[in-house]
Structure 1
Amino acid sequence: MSQATTAAPKRLAVLLSGSGTTLQNLIDRIKSGSLRGAEIGVVLSSRSNAGGLDRAKKHGIPTVLVESRKYRKISAGSGCNKTAPDWEAMSEAVTEALIPFKPDILVLAGYMCLYKLPTAWQTGRCLN
């Protein structure tokens, strides 16, 4: 007879920019047992006033802030909007912030920024 083994839950990193309703759905599904084999290891937000940060803290989930406004650069273009996010620099900062949490899966849950996945994370590691 083979002995059943329990696999370690997949660690989710939830990236968000707003109220965190998708985060709350994940929390509720994990707690109810309808989403098995997953745990939320970290919540990363692009906005300091995102309600999702409060939801995460309420449930004891670590939070990280990588504010998109800090990655603005002057654009060479014309028109009203002369600043644009430096997505490359912000993507690097997001990746560096997530590495210590060793996420198995990234969940883009209302994350309103462009995120360039590192090559090693591009296969089967991200849900949008």
Structure 2
Amino acid sequence: MSKKILVLISGSGSNLQAVIDKVHLSDNAGEVVAVISNKPDAFGLTRAQEAGIATDVVVSKGIAKREEYDALLGQAIDKYQPDLIVLAGFMRILTPDFVRRYAGKMLNIHPSLLPKYQGLHTHQRALDAGDEAHGASVHFVTEELDGGPVILQAKVPVFEGDTAEDLAARVLDQEHRIYPLAVQWFVAGRLQMQDGKALLDQQVLSPAGYAAE
């Protein structure tokens, strides 16, 4: 029986599209059963609707307390009873209670080679530091922001004269490649979180995760 995947978005949903194309439409092990956005005008909702996927909006604007919003979001998620929750550009910091509620079944992708550059403005920070390589990391979500165990990373070169936008585009191409792969591993039963570590095929991954070629 295929695993039920629920995707949380806030914007255009390009990583959502990658999961739709490479998992939902082509991998019998996983099905995207719903897409939930905190913004009603997120283009990712259109992507989902065009693929025949159920959509929901839990508007965050006007809700001051994160705990209150996360309670509403949890209610919306639980209607679908997902096996996996995929954060795809979901621009909210989740409360510890929410994260614990779905521990081990929530993935995120972050545009840096974690543990470098947790948080925002990762591309400019890599440029400012003079890094020769940058990239993206898929990780399990834990209570520490962008601090959960890394599953998979992909590197990109940093070229002289690069802008943050140049680097962002290069990294996004890799995100579209590695995020669906990690989702496929999870729905196939190969990937899990145990004792705060990411395991692939029962083997503990290194702190940097699996290095995508």
Q: The TM-score by the shorter chain falls in which range?
A: 0.7 to 0.9
Query: In the alignment, which of 26, 32, 42 is matched to residue 19 of structure 2?
Result: 26
Quote the Cα distance in structure 2 between the aligned partners of 1:113 and 1:104.
Answer: 21
Query: In the alignment, which of 36, 40, 60 is matched to residue 44 of structure 1?
Result: 36
1:119 positional shift: 3.2
Quote the Cα distance in structure 2 between the aligned partners of 1:56 and 1:32.
Answer: 12
Quote the Cα distance in structure 1 between the aligned partners of 2:75 and 2:54.
Answer: 15
Partner of residue 4, structure 1 = none
Q: Percent identity?
A: 34
Query: Structure 1, residues 65-84: CA drift from partner, whole Å, max 9, x if none?
Result: 01110313xxxxxxxxxxxx
Structure 1 residues 92 and 31, CA gap change in structure 2 (3 angstroms): closer
Query: In the alignment, which of 68, 85, 110 is matched to residue 89 of structure 2?
Result: 110
Stretches of structure 1 that go unaligned for 5 or more consecutive residues are 1-7, 73-85
Quote the Cα distance in structure 1 between the aligned partners of 2:77 and 2:13.
Answer: 18
In the alignment, is the contact (CA less than 8 A) between 2:11 and 2:42 conserved in 1? yes
Partner of residue 14, structure 1 = 7
Structure 1 residues 31 and 16, CA gap change in structure 2 (3 angstroms): closer
In the alignment, is the contact (CA less than 8 A) between 1:16 and 1:111 conserved in 2? yes
In the alignment, is the contact (CA less than 8 A) between 1:20 and 1:52 conserved in 2? yes
1:121 positional shift: 1.7
1:118 positional shift: 5.3
CA RMSD of aligned residues (A): 1.5
1:121 paired to 2:92 = no
In the alignment, is the contact (CA less than 8 A) between 2:34 and 2:56 conserved in 1? yes
Query: In the alignment, which of 56, 81, 96 is matched to residue 64 of structure 1?
Result: 56
Q: How many residues align?
A: 106
Higher relative contact order (CA 8 A, sep 6+): 1
1:94 paired to 2:73 = yes
In the alignment, is the contact (CA less than 8 A) between 1:95 and 1:118 conserved in 2? no
Query: Structure 1, residues 25-47: CA drift from partner, whole Å, max 9, x if none?
Result: 001102563x4511101100010
| TM-score, scaled relative to structure 1 | 0.77
- Residue 76 of structure 2 aligns to which amino acid in structure 1? A
